[in-house]
Chain A
Amino acid sequence: MKKRRLLSFLVNKPPQRYFVMMQFFMFAGVMLFLLYGSFQAFDQFSLSSAGQDLTPEQLKLQLKEFYAALFLRLLLIFLIGFFVNVLMGMIFLHRITGPLVRVRNVLNSLIEGKTPEGAVKFRHGDFTPELADALNRLVAAVKQGRLVIKK
């Protein structure tokens, strides 16, 4: 039981599946761009030094320019990767937190004695539509006044 609780965050539900897929494509994309960017920089450097006979010490000195170019390329790839990842993450989170905001608003209306007109619906693509069904059943029960306090 304790072991199950410890690893319960690994549950395979739609939000978790989408998150893992999203992060997989994101990291695969960053890695491909990164490998492409670094090998392209490396190719440019090797072409510029082709035909030269250098000692390892001389090569290390020449590599300083390559390091600077590589650093700039990596920085650019990581910045773009970071912004795309944050944007995708925000859109993903919006589909989780949106329904929660909707639930909170409906509950606040119920507290004020107002019941929503018609069924509560989440946006298309929002996660946990079953939460809307539960909320609709609650609203129906409140309207019918068939609630009993359970001791």
Chain B
Amino acid sequence: MGGQERRRTLGLNLKGTAERHFIILESILMVLLMVYLLYLIFWTINGVLDNLPSEQQVELAPIFDRISYLLLVRISVFFIVVSLVNFLLGLFYLHRLTGPMVRIKGVLDQIAAGDVPSKDATLRKKDYPTDVVDALNRALRKIREWRK
């Protein structure tokens, strides 16, 4: 990353696959959250108003109190559900980054202990840091060559 680009992106890598997928995941989640929340607010207000006698004039204060109460309860429940979904999706996403780190560390420890694995290291399908595992496998092949 060049100096100018580093300054523009605050030194953060925005082009990596993992980073791109995180942004896409958060965008989809936020858009869905906003659309459903708007629907929830409008549905709550219309639901309260639809239950009133249509031709009769009504006092507004108790209606607004009722709407505020329903909105508070429904938005809170909605946010708890969304937070749980976000935690699960996020942890599932993180697993694809941290799992390979554990695997890579295991292979490095094994080599450092003097046992060079005869087979290449592999990751699960859809794990992210494939470039690191490729480098590890190239290093493994090189070490095997040295030993011969």
* B132 partner, pick from A59, A90, A100, beta carbons under 8 A: A100
Chain A residues near B (Cβ < 8 Å) = 8-11, 13, 15-16, 19-20, 23-24, 27, 31, 34-35, 38-39, 42, 46, 49-50, 52-57, 59-60, 63, 67, 70-71, 74-75, 78, 81-82, 85-86, 89-91, 93-94, 96-97, 99-100, 103-104, 107-108, 110-111, 127-128, 130-131, 134-135, 137-138, 140-142, 145-151
What chain A residues lie within 8 Å of B111 (beta carbons)? Answer: 138, 141, 147
What chain A residues lie within 8 Å of B14 (beta carbons)? Answer: 90
Q: Can you report 5 A-B residue pairs in the complex whose CB atoms are below 8 A from each other?
A: A20-B91, A56-B53, A100-B129, A107-B136, A137-B109
Verify B98–A15 contact, CB threshold 8 A.
yes
Closest Cβ neighbor of A102 among chain B residues:
B132
Closest Cβ neighbor of B95 among chain A residues:
A9
Rounded to whole angstroms, the CA-CA distance of A97 and B104 in the bound complex is 13
What chain A residues lie within 8 Å of B76 (beta carbons)? Answer: 31
What chain B residues lie within 8 Å of A55 (beta carbons)? Answer: 54-58
Closest Cβ neighbor of B83 among chain A residues:
A27
What chain B residues lie within 8 Å of A137 (beta carbons)? Answer: 108-109, 112-113
Query: How many residues on B have C-beta within 8 angstroms of the other chain's C-beta atoms?
Result: 79
Verify A16–B91 contact, CB threshold 8 A.
yes
Shortest CB distance A134–B (Å) = 4
Closest Cβ neighbor of A66 among chain B residues:
B45
Closest Cβ neighbor of A62 among chain B residues:
B60
Given contacts A35-B72, A97-B13, A149-B116, contact A9 B94 (CB under 8 A): yes
B33 at the A/B interface (Cβ < 8 Å)?
A: yes
Verify B34–A75 contact, CB threshold 8 A.
yes
Rounded to whole angstroms, the CA-CA distance of A31 and B37 in the bound complex is 11
